[in-house]
Structure 1
Amino acid sequence: MRNRRVADGSVRGRGLPLPDLGLGCAPIGDLYAAVNPEVAAATVHTALALGSTLLDTAPKYGNGLSEQRLGQALASLDPNSYQLATKVGWSVTENRPPEPAFSADGVLRSLEGSMRRLGTDRFDIVHVHDPDDHLDQAVAETMPVLERLRDEGVIGTIGAGMNSDGLLADLVRRTDLDRVLIAGRYTLLEQGARSALLPLCLERGIEVIAAGVFNSGLLADPRPGAPYNYRPVPDEILARALRLKEICTRHEVPLRATALQFPAAHPAVRTVLIGAAHPDEVADNVALAQMRLPSALWSELREAGLIDAASPVP
């Protein structure tokens, strides 16, 4: 494998070191609400100023709007001051749903479009994006193209970004990835990635980027009707989230701080990726990541059966 975990537990391989906290740029592509372009740019600039130097986007986010706005925000900045990650696997056209594009030609056309929108000629990371129903094609056609571009220096590192920890683990076994992005599957509410994906990545020296740590916002504001994995929250999941909030409140800790710091404690996780659409959100997330949480909080969460006893905590 290209990355090897060495004796001191670090990862050696391609690419610059990742930051502890990265910026998910889907929200500046009008994911949840329309965002003023100037506010979008200020959001990116604030993230960089506060050390969140990994900027993650994709053509799927707003049918290219996220990439376009990110490119505008980065136009006057030194490319060495940030790490740029995008994704391939879906063809986007204005006013039409994204269509699968996991073929070699589809990958190249996707990257050309991303380069144009972002104003760049290289990427620090390129992930194959949500290949759940196209896994064999991703292995046979997508990955060889990405590996060639990595060898040519157009791409620094290659990875896969998915919501399914089981399918992502399968892809890790079948390909030569440097990094993976797992969304919503290693959180206070869902810890399935701990059983197979995270140990596999540790074994292979693959850095994990944990995204969706608020499970679409439920762990930011648990309430009836709140989104959970992009759908209305089921009653039993809401009850669990409210129990988490109750315990956090008793320890005078924001639930969001606990939700952000929990995945970061796993040794396989290098970066936690948090989406934001306003500079204040970025500053708040950075403060939450740096907040000192009492050990008694984690003990009570374990005693309540809300996190597994074997799960690492800060």
Structure 2
Amino acid sequence: MSAPARRRLGSGGVEVTELSFGAAGIGNLYSPITDDQAAMALDHAWTAGIRYFDTAPHYGLGLSERRLGEALRGRDRSSYVLSTKVGRILEPAAEVSGDDLADGGFAVPRTHRRVWDFSADGVRRSLDASLTRLRVDRVDVVFLHDPDDHGEEAFREGYPALEKLRSEGVVGAIGAGMNQAEMLTRFVRDTDVDAVLCAGRYTLLDHRALAELLPAASARGASVVIGGVFNSGLLADPRPGARFDYTEAPPELLARARALAAVAERHGTTLRAAALAFPFGHPAVASVLVGIHAPEQVTDAAAQFAAPVPAGFWQEIRERGLLPEGVPLPGDARVPAPGDIRDDMTGPVPGRDRP
């Protein structure tokens, strides 16, 4: 199995592997894992050729960053790319009680509390703390994390602080990471971000990023990292009770996912392989970020990513109306203009402020 290819973020010098490691899971997202299990998952990712790792202070109240730093310690720092996020300061809790599942979704003791802070000082303090947890002297990419309800401060103070860090050579690339496409489009159009991380809004079931974000990124020379390609699990295993964007999938989406899976089976591929391949139909996409917490997940993701998806699969899902007209697919010769896209398959974005 060949290692994933690399693509550049924007016009800068940071290159990421097309398949990347989302580290929320090793922060005990929803359920606990051991330090050894996290280390094994990361070792398997390294062996599979994955060299881009994304984390955040939010993930397990710093646990994800600590585990990632420990696993990467001793490896050639120039051989991999690290991204983390700013916008939530971790402050020690006055009293340690219970766990973080209700507040943040992570099975860790509530040792800290998250404080929203997109100020210039907050950005630097957050990054300094992340560097300590990661045991490195630099990260390659920093994203403003979920500024949905803090847009004014993020644009007025947070983004200029990142731009200054980039100009000082402290970080190589900057951007924003969100579960929506609309504000990310504003970042692409109104700032000089290298990349944005768009979670769940460009998948086989949800194409909102195609309306404005992806065309804007192409026009400005910015890159898009796509997270949530399985939409919380529905596109990995579409069985009753599967999640879509952190909640149980509604019947109509479950039916569509099952129809996609049936087409994939007829063409000798899998829904997982198609979900991983789909975003690369658009040239602005640089990487797909897969949440991983176990070695077997790495093995499966790498195998599915490397597996070619037959052209007949893409043709049939178009013919059957399982994708809107005009959505670009791998192998397409032409990327459509925004006006070409007709998509009534998506609704409101649930799950804001989730990993």
Taking structure 2 as the reference length, the TM-score comes to 0.83
| Shift in Å, 1:97 | 4.9
Say whether 1:285 aligns with 2:301. yes
Matches within 5 A, 1:130-169: 130-169=146-185
C-alpha distance 66-110 of structure 1, shift in aligned 2 (>3 A): same
Among 98, 103, 111, the alignment partner of 2:127 is: 111
- Which residue in the other structure is 1:21 paired with? 19
8 A contact 2:9–2:195 mirrored in 1: no
Unmatched 5+ stretches in structure 1: 1-8
Whole-Å separation in 2 of the counterparts to 1:12 and 1:142: 20
The one-character-per-residue Cα deviations of 1:123-180 (angstroms, maximum 9, x if unpaired) are 1000000101111110100011111111111111101101111121022222210011
Among 142, 146, 151, the alignment partner of 1:126 is: 142
8 A contact 2:145–2:178 mirrored in 1: yes
- Which residue in the other structure is 1:267 paired with? 283
Whole-Å separation in 2 of the counterparts to 1:88 and 1:10: 22
| Shift in Å, 1:11 | 7.0
Whole-Å separation in 2 of the counterparts to 1:130 and 1:34: 24
Say whether 1:63 aligns with 2:79. no
- Which residue in the other structure is 2:76 paired with? 78
Q: Which amino acid aligns with 2:124?
A: L
Whole-Å separation in 2 of the counterparts to 1:203 and 1:163: 22
| Shift in Å, 1:12 | 6.0
Q: Which amino acid aligns with 2:84?
A: T
Taking structure 1 as the reference length, the TM-score comes to 0.93
- Which residue in the other structure is 1:3 paired with? none
Q: Which amino acid aligns with 2:208?
A: G
| Shift in Å, 1:85 | 0.3
* More off after superposition, 24-33 vs 247-256: 247-256
The one-character-per-residue Cα deviations of 1:163-205 (angstroms, maximum 9, x if unpaired) are 1111210222222100111000000000111111000000011
Corresponding residue SS for 2:172? strand
* More off after superposition, 35-44 vs 202-211: 35-44
Q: Which runs of 4+ in 1 moved over 3 A?
A: 9-12
| Shift in Å, 1:278 | 1.4
Whole-Å separation in 1 of the counterparts to 2:43 and 2:190: 37
- Which residue in the other structure is 2:327 paired with? 311
Matches within 5 A, 1:204-283: 204-283=220-299
The one-character-per-residue Cα deviations of 1:77-113 (angstroms, maximum 9, x if unpaired) are 1111210000000122461552211111211111111
Corresponding residue SS for 2:31? coil
Of all paired residues, the percent bearing the same amino acid is 48
- Which residue in the other structure is 1:44 paired with? 42
Say whether 1:187 aligns with 2:185. no
The number of equivalent residue pairs is 306
Unmatched 5+ stretches in structure 2: 1-6, 93-109, 331-355
Name the one with the larger helix percent: 1
Whole-Å separation in 2 of the counterparts to 1:56 and 1:62: 14
Q: CA RMSD in A?
A: 1.6
8 A contact 2:9–2:286 mirrored in 1: no
Whole-Å separation in 2 of the counterparts to 1:97 and 1:10: 35
